[in-house]
Amino acid sequence: MNQTEQSSAHPDPANQQPLEERVNNRSHRPDSDAFRAFMASSWAPSATELPARAEVADHAARRRRAISEQFKGERLVIPAGPLKVRSNDCDYRFRPHSTFAHLTGLGVDHEPDAVLILDPTDEGKGDDGGHHRASLYFRPLAGRDTKEFYADSRSGEFWIGPRPTLEEFKALLGLDTVDISQLEVGITKNVGEPSVGGISIRLVRKVDENIDALVDTARYNTAKNPDAMDFEALDALDAKLAEALSELRLLKDAWEVEQMKIAVAATAAGFEEIVKSLPRAVAHQRGERVVEGAFFARAREEGNELGYDTIAAGGNNATILHWTRNTGTVNDGELILVDAGVEADSLYTADITRTIPVNGSYSPVQRKIYQAVLDAADAAFAVAVPGRKFRDVHNAAMEVLADRLEEWGMLPVAAAAALSPAGQQHRRWMPHGTSHHLGLDVHDCAQARAELYLDGVITEGMVFTIEPGLYFKNEDLAIPAEFRGNGVRIEDDILITANGPVNLSAALPRTPDDVEAWMARLSG
């Protein structure tokens, strides 16, 4: 091998282009002085009128005030999260962490890398008479005279469109705003052990790895004895913040309820598109994808995104609880179970399930199964009232299903024995819970303590689902053959008021007769 060949085979590492720069090798971006000067000139001035204060701003301020009450004297750090890479240099659409959205009021795609900081003040001297002053750190719109304007594909206006300025977000949200370049100082200033006059930090972890590392470093560098740091205790401090923020969302305010209604209405419109798509779905080798696509198209028109991956499950696939592959066929004579929800621009989501006959009519066995699930749902509705326990909703539904399974000869014991803690045989065909809280996350308030969630008292302002089901798999030899291959779930979104539950999703029919009439009307 000659010297030239050797050089080509083993290039000098010092001359290697860094990996992070190679993604731009496909681009031909100009960078001459003449180009930069010309690019910075002759642009119409940006709008100078500031937006009006958003309706959500006052609600978000009350939420921050409530959390301030629990963590006096401590700095609270709530990241929005970074952009997430889908593949190579392509990112997923950005969605901020739900806690960040809840405390700022920001939805849609605001704001990658942003961080909300609640800085402690003297008691009662903070925002709205609280104990903290809130500041939103984010990357504001870059001027058109900057390289970022035309060269940064993640944040430049030429690539992703206009972005807010510090002044605009301050006016919109009623929050102090700070350039993200000051974030490190905002997080780490005066950090230290309270016993020596420092400020302790609590962080919503596992949202932004860079913020996690920054907080951990600040804690380590300011500890009196870093080698003796109790990391489990620090993690427990952060976990307590996550818990409190999750429990703060157990009761929805008036603005949140309106957002839930918007999400539910958009979801109902999507279900109408599903019914209209069924003839094409039956004719397609991946009919479930046709149904999924019909809903998604309407979701993007009406809202921001899906609240979660749609389940479009035909036939036996409906007995797979989280069937999201949606690669199966949709066949005449079978049921199709669709579990779907539109996420509104505010990021609040609906969560609705309907199980409908592909040909528009339930068979006698399908109707029998459907009616049992509907009766279970109605029993759950009846106990979903203020003052009852959240777990009562599930128990009421299970009593109906166990009785019906005994009546059909499927249970190996009496329904009463199955319902006992030592039994539970009926759960073979209904293994999931009947309800979960709903809001910014489809499974909202997930970090709340059990005594406030499962064992909590139903309270005015709660929003949760009621969703019993029965799932009879083709391969289940414990049941009569005529039941096999049918999965039924009925799920509605419930608002608890002083007068009892309100079915937010009541616009979608629930009884078998109403479902058939609805499908006939939409099918022309």
- Please report the DSSP string for 115-157 in residue order: EEEEEE-STT-SGGGSSEEEEEEE-PPPPTTSHHHHH-TTT-H
Supply the CATH number for residue 155's domain. 3.40.350.10
Backbone conformation region of residue 128, classed left if phi is above 0, alpha if psi is from -120 to 50, else beta: left
Q: Over range 219-235, report the average pLDDT.
A: 88
Residues 163 and 260 placed together within one structural domain of the fold: no
Using the predicted structure, report yes or no on whether residue 237 has a pLDDT greater than 90: yes
Supply the CATH number for residue 259's domain. 3.90.230.10
Alpha-helical runs (H) found in 408-466: 415-419
- Nearest Cα to 89, choosing from 145, 21, 138, 31? 21
**DSSP strands (E only) in 289-351:** 305-306, 311-314, 335-340, 342-343
Per-residue pLDDT tens digits for 138-166:
999 888 888 888 888 888 888 888 889 99
Boundary of a domain, candidates 198, 215, 247: 247
Q: Over range 311-320, report the average pLDDT.
A: 98
Residues 163 and 91 placed together within one structural domain of the fold: yes
- Nearest Cα to 102, choosing from 204, 209, 6? 204
Going by pLDDT thresholds of 50, 70 and 90, the confidence category of residue 4 is very low
Gap between the Cα atoms of 167 and 51, Å rounded: 9
Structure-token pair, residue 349: 């989501």
Within 13 Å of residue 406, how many CA atoms lie on the same side as its CB?
15
Residues 367 and 494 placed together within one structural domain of the fold: yes
Per-residue pLDDT tens digits for 34-82:
999 999 999 998 777 999 999 999 999 999 999 999 999 999 999 999 9
Residues 197 and 276 placed together within one structural domain of the fold: no
Residues 226 and 93 placed together within one structural domain of the fold: yes
Structure-token pair, residue 165: 């300025």
Gap between the Cα atoms of 344 and 328, Å rounded: 28
The answer to the question of residue 44 being in a domain is: no
Gap between the Cα atoms of 517 and 280, Å rounded: 20
Residues 263 and 239 placed together within one structural domain of the fold: no
Residues 435 and 486 placed together within one structural domain of the fold: yes
Burial of 196 (0-12, 13-18, 19+ CB in 10 A): exposed
The answer to the question of residue 508 being in a domain is: yes
Q: What predicted TM-score, i.e. pTM, was given to this entire model?
A: 0.93
Residue 456: per-residue pLDDT: 97
Using the predicted structure, report yes or no on whether residue 436 has a pLDDT greater than 90: yes
Q: 459: helix, coil or strand?
A: coil
Going by pLDDT thresholds of 50, 70 and 90, the confidence category of residue 13 is low
Quote the number of domains for the chain.
2
193 near 200, Cβ under 8 Å? yes
- b/e sequence 199-224, b meaning 16+ C-beta within 10 Å: bbbbbbbebbeebbebbbebbeebbe
Residues 375 and 393 placed together within one structural domain of the fold: yes
Q: Over range 288-302, report the average pLDDT.
A: 96
Using the predicted structure, report yes or no on whether residue 313 has a pLDDT greater than 90: yes
Using the predicted structure, report yes or no on whether residue 288 has a pLDDT greater than 50: yes
Structure-token pair, residue 288: 């479930």
Residue 9: per-residue pLDDT: 54
Which residue, chain included where needed, has tokens 């749609």? Answer: 310
Within 13 Å of residue 463, how many CA atoms lie on the same side as its CB?
28
Which residue, chain included where needed, has tokens 């993690």? Answer: 235
The answer to the question of residue 12 being in a domain is: no
The answer to the question of residue 213 being in a domain is: yes
Residues 242 and 268 placed together within one structural domain of the fold: no
Gap between the Cα atoms of 524 and 513, Å rounded: 17
**How many Cβ atoms from other residues are within 10 Å of residue 366's Cβ?**
20
Which of these ranges, 30-34, 211-215, 483-487, has the smallest mean pLDDT?
Answer: 30-34
Using the predicted structure, report yes or no on whether residue 387 has a pLDDT greater than 90: yes
The answer to the question of residue 47 being in a domain is: no
- Nearest Cα to 39, choosing from 159, 154, 140, 146? 146
Within 13 Å of residue 112, how many CA atoms lie on the same side as its CB?
14
Residue 172: per-residue pLDDT: 96
Burial of 47 (0-12, 13-18, 19+ CB in 10 A): exposed
Boundary of a domain, candidates 225, 247, 269: 247
Boundary of a domain, candidates 247, 281, 315: 247
Gap between the Cα atoms of 111 and 120, Å rounded: 24
Structure-token pair, residue 428: 């073979």
Residues 421 and 292 placed together within one structural domain of the fold: yes
The answer to the question of residue 509 being in a domain is: yes
The answer to the question of residue 33 being in a domain is: no
Gap between the Cα atoms of 181 and 133, Å rounded: 19
Q: Over range 321-348, report the average pLDDT.
A: 98
Residues 241 and 222 placed together within one structural domain of the fold: yes
Q: Over range 274-301, report the average pLDDT.
A: 97
Residues 136 and 270 placed together within one structural domain of the fold: no
Spatial neighbors of 499 by CB under 8 A, at least 6 apart, are: none
The answer to the question of residue 216 being in a domain is: yes
Task: Show the domain range for 220.
Answer: 56-247
DSSP conformation class of 44: P
